[in-house]
Amino acid sequence: MTKDHTSPVPQPRGRFITFEGGEGAGKSTQVTLLLDRLRKRGIEAIATREPGGSPHAEELRNILLSGLVAPLGAEAEALVFSAARIDHLDQKIKPALKAGMFVVCDRFADSTRAYQGTLGKVDPAFIHALEAVAVGDTRPDLTIILDVPAEIGLQRASLRRADANADRFEGENLAFHQGLRQAFLDIAKQEPQRCIVIDATLPAEKISELIWADVERRFVTVDSQMKARS
């Protein structure tokens, strides 16, 4: 049978994977491990982070984490995080997805929902509207929530920081971080298709295996089948 050249050949497309969770959940370690696994399978992938990820957004990151915007209130912070997100999407995320790459991002819009929305008590309708403007259609295909009890996460974060001062959010109290954990679990409950929750007290290698099993099942197997058919 000859191939029908009038119909487009299905192309594997880029995928957008985000990591979320409280402080000290081990996101950056898992971003690196996932990137290694994707590349070993011959998949082009980039790692990035928020706030930041593009030169302008990194400048806004410094301003946000220094606490300079905090006195203006959580709504203003949500606006600046979103401004950074717009640049990051335009400069880095969208072009990579368009080129068919996997984009693995350490924090994204769910952090605004949890930190500024739930914890900062910003009206959910405002957060929703901001997300519609800043993110639009470029929503994550998969969000991995690394779940760790607040006490353990804070302890890990303070060990990692050693003598350096806590940043804007690490300096918040235990109740804040317990609320944060619940906020991410609530997001996962609201969007069970997009989000998976992983127990981040497990050894890093085990966490990486659990994540890979999900990524492979969702995307890698599907993409290889598409390639084989084309």
Nearer to ligand TYD, 83 or 226 (CB): 83
Contacts with ligand TYD in 45-74 (CB under 6 A)?
50-51, 65
d(CA 109, CA 137): 12
Q: Does 143 engage in binding with ligand TYD (CB under 6 A)? A: no
List the one residue from 15, 37, 92, 107 that touches ligand TYD (CB under 6 A).
107
Q: Does 169 engage in binding with ligand TYD (CB under 6 A)? A: yes
Q: Report the candidate in 13, 15, 11 with the shortest Cα–Cα distance to residue 214.
A: 15
| Size of the chain, expressed as the number of residues it contains | 230
List the one residue from 16, 81, 184, 219 that touches ligand TYD (CB under 6 A).
81
CB half-sphere exposure, 57, CA atoms < 13 A: 22
Q: Does 208 engage in binding with ligand TYD (CB under 6 A)? A: no
d(CA 217, CA 6): 31
Nearer to ligand TYD, 30 or 116 (CB): 116
Q: Does 19 engage in binding with ligand TYD (CB under 6 A)? A: no
* Nearest-approach distance from CB 127 to ligand TYD, in angstroms: 10
Residue 124, judged by CB atoms within 10 A of its CB (0-12, 13-18, 19+), counts as exposed
Nearer to ligand TYD, 118 or 220 (CB): 118
Cβ neighbours of residue 26 closer than 8 Å, sequence gap 6 or more: 146, 148, 156, 200, 204, 207
d(CA 5, CA 7): 6
List the one residue from 14, 23, 30, 223 that touches ligand TYD (CB under 6 A).
23
d(CA 197, CA 142): 11
Residue range at the interface with ligand TYD (CB under 6 A); choices 29-37, 111-119, 124-132, 202-210? 111-119
H/E element holding 134? helix 124-134
Q: Does 118 engage in binding with ligand TYD (CB under 6 A)? A: no
Nearer to ligand TYD, 18 or 219 (CB): 18
* Nearest-approach distance from CB 205 to ligand TYD, in angstroms: 20
List residues binding ligand TYD (CB under 6 A): 23, 27, 50-51, 65, 81, 106-107, 111-112, 115-116, 167, 169
